[in-house]
Structure 1
Amino acid sequence: MKFLHAADLHLDSPLRTQAARDSAMGESLRAASRRVLARLVDAAVSEGVDAVLFAGDTFDSDVADVASRAALATELSRLARAGIPAVLIQGNHDALLDLDRYGPVSDALTVLTPDAPTFRVGEASVHGMGFTATHMAESLLPRYPRPDRGRWNIGLMHTSLDGAPGHDPYAPCALADLVGHGFDYWALGHIHKRAVHEAEGSLVVMPGIPQGRSIRETEGGSATLVEIDLQGVRARELPLELLRFAWVPVDFAGVADQGGRDARLRAALEAVAEGGVLIAARLDATGSPTELGDPRMLEAQAREAAEAVAGVFVDRVKLRPEAPAFNAEAADDLATLMRADAATPGFRDEVQAQLEEIRAALPAEIRDVLGDDRLDKLIEAGVETMALRLGTGRTDQ
């Protein structure tokens, strides 16, 4: 049997990128998540799967826009015409969404709930239940049915597992507990980075987000094709994304003019170009302030360079200027001049005048702490502190 497993479509969530405002690609990206849904259905029909599994957060909120609902209904109708059912659970983002607000979405769609947690298709049983609140702090696993005997068993769950960076604990569940439950395949959702966990007799997959929405989501971009037969369970990644976000390092060390910057930019952008998917590049530019030049000019150059590289757009340019190289000899010379100046009568008179102002502001009982007999030691300590800050560490001059 074959299944197509996807999660975290976030249909009504826009792409957060300056590239989407580019006239050449803005229109095509305004509905990127819906277009990715269409690609998902194309793959399901092409592969002839037995069912499509949606593991939560199909929508981004509890009040999905009408266009996103219409897109889902249209694509589910395509599945219905191909004889392919869809099975869905709700995640933390769309936990409270009323999918039937405008009438039933599709006869092809089954939503699994705690009251109706199992859907059977062919020789497989799909078990699952979605969120009934926007945050569920306890594992849902104890409420899942036991495996159906003599059938392939698939678990559909929206969970943070044992936790992941950048994700709060939602319906947490230990990986070992999932494996021990006895299902052949676990179709997970929630974490936007793809992960595959293999164990004897079971396969657990987090498919990742099908379409990243910002530079924080540089991984994912796919769904998972699952095959189950007497040889076991196999999972294969199917790319779906229209646009991929990428951090692109550009080192401008040694660049002396605009032509050199253009060459570095072009090479960096060409290195990330990839046929079949657009790239929104966040450039991480390093170099000295002189090598980087004016920030506005560099960003304009980057966008101009991208015009010549098919399929690559500049999201933003982030400058990371390097600190000037430390010149120990110059620091030593400056420290020597400071010591010579501190020994002149004029310097001592200025310091003594400032010292008198400070003493006048102090309570009478502690004014002697800054007596005239302390002047030489205070000047010496101040000069040596500045010399150390310059990095020389020398006190023998």
Structure 2
Amino acid sequence: MKFLHVADLHLDSPLRTQAARDSAMGAHLRAASRQVLARLVDAALSEGVDAVLFAGDTFDSDVADVASRAALATELSRLSRSGIPAVLIQGNHDALLDLDRYGPVSDALTVLTPEAPTIRIGDACIHGMGFTAKHMAESLLPRYPQPDPGRWNIGLMHTSLDGAAGHDPYAPCALADLIGHGYDYWALGHIHKRAVHEAEGTLVVMPGIPQGRSIRERDGGSATLVEIDLQGVRAREIRLELLRFTEVLVDFTGVADQAGRDARLRMALEAMAGDDVMIAARLDAAGSPAELGDPRMLEAQAREAAETMAGVFVDRVRLRPANQALDAELAEDLASLMRADAATPGFRDEVLAHLEELRSALPAELRHVLADDRIDELIEMGVETMALRLATGRSEH
């Protein structure tokens, strides 16, 4: 049997990057998550899977945008016409979502709940249950059914596992306990970085986010094709992303003028071009202050060079002065800690409260600059600014 496992689609969640706001990318990437959903269904049809498994956070909020819901209904209809069912659990982002608010999404979709946690598809039993609250501090595993003897058993779970940097505990569950439960495959969701674990004949997969939304989400970009037969369980990554975020070191050592800097930039950007996805690159510029030149000019050169290359965009240029290499490394460690803290709900709540205070002090025509939907962008810019100041030894007075 074959299944396609996906998680954390976050339909219509915006791409949070300077490159995604580039006019050349336009509306094409504003609908990136929907296009990735279409690619997922294309893969399911091409592979002839027995079912598509959605392991939580299909939507990005409790109130699904009508267009997002319509996009999901359209793609599920394509599956239905080919006789492919879809099975879904709700994650923390769509925990309180009323999927039937406008009527059933699709006759191809089954939503697993604590009251109805199992569906049989062919020789397999799919078990799962989703979130009924935004935060779940206890493991859901004790509530999962025991394996059905004589069938393949697959579990869907949205969980932070034993914990991950930047994630609060969500239905935490030890990997060893999952393996010991007796299922053949665990289709997980929640952590946006891909991970595969195998032990005692059980395969446990966190597929990662299908489309990263910022430079912090560059380890996903895929779904997982699962094959189960008498030879065991196998999993293969299926790439889905439209845009890949990456960090690239550009060494300007020995460069003496603008022409030399331009040549180094073009060489670095050309090395990324020609793939089947678009690239949003964050460039780490290494060299002495004299070799790097004016930071604003360097970023302008980088963006101009990228404009001549199809599918390559510059997210940001960060300076990494050569004489501050050790400090930059330490600064990056501090930045990682700051990012982890910034990803917690408590931190975000505090930021939202401060934004409200600041907006009230601004003229009405400027308040959109500090809108709530820009919170991730503003937090990221703050962390990166602090990291740069630490790395360069600069301070503001």
Same fold by TM-score, threshold 0.5 exceeded? Answer: yes
Deviation, structure 1 residue 54 = 0.2
1:111 aligns with 2:116: no
Secondary structure of the 1:72 match is helix
Amino acid paired to 1:28: H
- Provide the secondary structure at the position in 2 that maps to 1:10: coil
Match of 1:172 in 2: 172
2:277 is matched with 277
What is the distance in 2 between the residues matched to 1:89 and 1:274? 37
Q: Which amino acid aligns with 2:89?
A: I
Distance across 2 between alignment mates of 1:224 and 1:83: 20
Whichever residue aligns with residue 162 of structure 1, its letter is D
- By how many angstroms is 1:182 displaced? 0.4
Unaligned runs of 5+ in 1: 326-397
Partner in structure 1 of residue 250 of structure 2: 250
Look up the match of 1:86.
86
The one-letter code of the counterpart of 2:108 is A
Distance in structure 2 (CA, Å) of the matches to 1:66 and 1:324? 50
Q: Give, in whole Å, the separation in 2 of the partners of 1:273 and 1:189.
A: 31
Aligned to 2:286: 286
Paired with 2:321 and 2:141, the residues of 1 have a C-alpha distance of 50
Q: Partner of 1:239 in structure 2?
A: 239
- Which protein shows a greater Rg? 1
- Work out the percentage of aligned pairs sharing the same amino acid: 87
One-letter identity of the residue aligned with 1:225: L
Cα deviations across residues 135-182 of structure 1 (Å, max 9, x unaligned)? 000100000000111110000000011111111111111111001100
In 2, Cα distance between equivalents of 1:212 and 1:179? 28
Secondary structure of 1:253's aligned partner: coil
Q: Is the 8 A contact 2:54 2:88 kept in 1?
A: yes
User: How many residues in Structure 1 have an aligned counterpart in Structure 2?
Assistant: 325
Q: Secondary structure at the match of 2:163?
A: coil
TM-score (norm 1): 0.80
**Cα offset, 1:203, TM superposition:** 0.6
- Structure 1 residue 323: deviation in Å? 4.1
In the alignment, what sits opposite 2:311? 311
Give the TM-score normalised by the residue count of structure 2.
Answer: 0.80
Q: Is the 8 Å Cα contact of residues 12 and 64 (structure 1) preserved in structure 2?
A: no
Aligned equivalent of 2:351: none
Q: CA deviation at 1:21?
A: 2.0
Q: Give the 3-state SS of the residue equivalent to 2:107 in structure 1.
A: coil
CA distance in 2, matches of 1:282, 1:267: 15
Letter in 1 for 2:228: I
Report if the CA contact (8 A) 1:194-1:208 is conserved: yes
Q: Secondary structure at the match of 1:127?
A: strand
Contact 2:55 2:88 in 1 (8 A): yes
Which residue of 1 is the match for residue 212 of structure 2? 212
TM-superposed CA distance for 1:296, in Å, is 1.5
Distance 2:322 2:254 in 1: 13
1:238 is paired with a residue of what secondary structure?
Answer: strand
Whole-Å Cα distance in 2 between the matches of residues 137 and 307 of structure 1? 47
| 1:187-202 matches, cutoff 5 A | 187-202=187-202
Distance 1:13 1:324, change over 3 A: closer
Q: Take 1:180 and 1:312, find their aligned partners in 2: how far apart are those partners?
A: 45
Q: Secondary structure at the match of 1:97?
A: coil
CA contact (8 A) 2:12 2:32 kept: no
Name the CA distance, whole Å, in 2 between partners of 1:304 and 1:84: 46
Aligned partner of 2:55 in structure 1 is 55
Aligned partners of 1:323 and 1:210: how far apart in 2?
38
Quote how far apart the aligned CAs of 1:274 are.
4.4
Look up the match of 1:65: 65
Q: Secondary structure of the equivalent of 1:70?
A: helix
1:181 pairs with 2:181:
yes
Secondary structure at the residue paired with 1:52?
A: strand
Partner residue in 1 for 2:261: 261
Partner residue of 2:121? 121
1:130 counterpart = 2:130: yes
RMSD: 1.3
Verify: 1:302 aligned to 2:302, yes or no: yes
Aligned to 1:143: 143
Q: Classify the secondary structure of the residue corresponding to 2:271.
A: helix
Q: Distance in 2 between matches of 1:17 and 1:324?
A: 27
Answer whether contact 1:215 1:245 (CA < 8 A) is retained: yes
- What amino acid maps onto 2:152 in structure 1? W
Q: CA deviation at 1:259?
A: 0.7
- Closer, same or farther: CA 186–324 of 1 in aligned 2, 3 Å: closer
User: Quick check: 292-301 or 114-123, which moved more?
Assistant: 292-301
* AA matched with 1:265: L
Name the aligned partner's letter for residue 92 of structure 2: N
Could you tell me how far apart the structure 2 residues matched to 1:324 and 1:56 are?
Answer: 43
- Counterpart amino acid of 2:126? V
Greater shift, 198-207 or 302-311, is seen at 302-311
Deviations along 1:44-73, whole A, 9 cap, x unmatched? Answer: 011110000000000111112111111001
Amino acid of the residue matched to residue 228 of structure 1? I
Matches of 2:226 and 2:51, distance apart in 1: 10
Partner in structure 2 of residue 96 of structure 1: 96
Is 2:88 aligned against 1:75? Answer: no
Aligned to 1:20: 20
Q: What amino acid is the match of 2:247?
A: W
Alignment partners' CA distance in 1, 2:249 and 2:167: 26
The answer to whether the 8 A contact 1:19-1:26 is kept is no
Distance 2:271 2:136 in 1: 43
